[in-house]
Structure 1
Amino acid sequence: MKSAVSTCRDVVLSLLAAGVVATASGWTAHAAPTPDRVDEVPGRTALSFAHTPSGTRVGTANHGEARPGLSIVKLYVADYMLRHGDGSPEDRALGQRMIRDSDDGAAAEAYAKYPQAIDAIAAEYRLTSTHGAGFWGNAVTSTTDTVTFLEAKKSTDPDGEILGWMATAAPVAADGTHQNWGTGLLPSVIGTKWGWSDTGPSVVASASFGSDFSVAANTYGTVDEHTGDVLGAFAQDPASPSPQPAQVPIRELIDRYNTMNDPRIDQLAGVIPSDWSLPAAVVPRP
């Protein structure tokens, strides 16, 4: 069992690490929306959220459930093709069409060329609920897997084409579907990928990233239900923008947790800029 001093030190160092990561990367910790109502999301929707600087992750009870991957799995196909394909301009063009325009024809062509793509990416990123199929559109993934993938891309390839194409998605997809709903409506979002079923019961999905967060959701329902469930997880009123999360100065947190008055911790606190802060939602309880 850890001593009180050890526990205090661990908490303080974790807070310091979060502040250092946020500052070194140029990402501001206060930009992420706060998923303060995830427990109220209906069971028809699975949702996962990651706060990048702190590593904190939250989600609905079903966030790890394997669901229809829809066009979200085009991210996996494109990633495999760009890094393990033949490097041809044709491959790059297919990737752009898959992600920016959600072009099913491009996905079919790419997956026919690289049928191992989804399973290979699942193995590489440890996406445990993601599995390929004979037809790309029958693949499955989970919202937590998608968030894991996006966080990995932000860490290893922040200026790469995958995130770049998500950030410049076409307003209207290749099949005429408008791409302006779901997680894409959350504040501070930089890029989004959407997915929807063409046949059978309606299933829709969206996945987005910001400078300091990633979020993904999948709904057995309509676009409007999906959007309402997503926004409702971050705000009291789904029609209102998410409020700015409450901030707590890191110096205040150090003072709060340094109950043993360890002088080494006080010394560390002295070099922390006074304007460094963390969202209150990610601060561990005493």
Structure 2
Amino acid sequence: MPSLRHLSLAPLAAVACALAAAAPASALPGPENFADVPARTSISFEHSPSGLRVGTANENDARPGLSTVKLYLADYALRHGDGSAGDRDLAARMIQSSDDGAASALDSKYPNAIDATAAEFGLPSTSRGGFWGSSYTSTADTVRFLESKKGTDPASPILGWMNSSSPVATDGTQQDWGTGELADVTGTKWGWADDASSVVASASIGDGFSIAANTYGSAAAQTDDVLGALGGIDLSPGVVAPPAVPTLEQFLEMFGP
């Protein structure tokens, strides 16, 4: 092994710089990606492997939950209901085709479901109104709920139903906007007001992430805002370990005679 006093440090510095350059840069979204999102839209995102959570400044605002609160209602009915095949069928119809009649039936049967789910999962901006359709939630709450389900109950039918949602809802609405338009998404639940344009919502899951959006405006406006913020970002990269740094002995062997 060469004497350390005669070894030039320049090659070592060059290797160190190369290693630093080779370290993978995160492609995940950061606060800067949400800085220009119009105030009409709130967006929340969480990357499951790393625990990274980011969103718009208004992500905790309680907004009309629309049909995204059917996620909470379905979860309660499945886990705390009477276990009937009828409940399961109604829950599936709520999630896959956003069937309002199915939601009203379960909401009437379990009127405490949404508030109970909010308490169980720690959703501070979520509350039931006079019925499920007048409930409120936030995009942060929706993402928190989805990430909890994925982490503690990955076999939940709710997640499977999101992954097999119908292209057309029971009322004829095309389910094809917002977070559902992101390339890495595998499943989505959509929501919309009766007039289909005053407020819309979407909540999606993918391989290693959850995301939700709510917009005071049309479906097209939400899609523009979501894609403008996140359309060019890989939302589901794994947690990659940086390259191993050689030991001092390995450095010396690299440049020894």
Same fold (TM over 0.5): yes
Alignment of structure 1 residues 37-186 onto 2, 5 Å: 37-186=33-182
Task: Assess if the C-alpha contact under 8 Å between 2:184 and 2:234 holds in 1.
Answer: no
Distance (Å, rounded) in 2 between the aligned partners of 1:214 and 1:152: 10
Shift of 1:205: 0.3
Task: Assess if the C-alpha contact under 8 Å between 1:206 and 1:218 holds in 2.
Answer: yes
Task: Assess if the C-alpha contact under 8 Å between 1:33 and 1:234 holds in 2.
Answer: no
Alignment of structure 1 residues 228-267 onto 2, 5 Å: 228-235=224-231, 242-244=232-234, 250-252=241-243
Name the residue aligned to 1:275.
none
- What's the secondary structure of 1:251's corresponding residue? coil
The one-letter amino acid paired with 2:41 is: T
Task: Assess if the C-alpha contact under 8 Å between 1:128 and 1:145 holds in 2.
Answer: yes
| CA shift digits 1:68-124 (9 cap, x unpaired) | 000000000000000000000000000001000100000000000000000000000
Shift of 1:46: 0.4
Task: Assess if the C-alpha contact under 8 Å between 2:96 and 2:165 holds in 1.
Answer: yes
Task: Assess if the C-alpha contact under 8 Å between 2:98 and 2:169 holds in 1.
Answer: yes
Distance (Å, rounded) in 2 between the aligned partners of 1:66 and 1:40: 21
Shift of 1:38: 1.0
Alignment of structure 1 residues 168-207 onto 2, 5 Å: 168-199=164-195, 202-207=198-203
Distance (Å, rounded) in 2 between the aligned partners of 1:222 and 1:153: 29
Shift of 1:233: 0.9
Q: What TM-score does the superposition give when structure 1 sets the normalisation length?
A: 0.72
Corresponding residue pairs, total: 219
Query: Pairwise CA RMSD of aligned residues?
Result: 2.1
The one-letter amino acid paired with 1:161 is: P
The one-letter amino acid paired with 1:125 is: F
Task: Assess if the C-alpha contact under 8 Å between 1:205 and 1:216 holds in 2.
Answer: yes
| CA shift digits 1:142-188 (9 cap, x unpaired) | 00000000000101111220000000000000000001111011121
Shift of 1:243: 4.2
| CA shift digits 1:213-259 (9 cap, x unpaired) | 10000000001000000111114xxxxxx24479995234x75xxxx
**Percent identity of equivalent pairs:** 58
Give unpaired runs (5+ residues) of structure 1.
Answer: 1-29, 236-241, 256-260, 262-286
Task: Assess if the C-alpha contact under 8 Å between 2:33 and 2:230 holds in 1.
Answer: yes
Task: Assess if the C-alpha contact under 8 Å between 1:33 and 1:188 holds in 2.
Answer: no
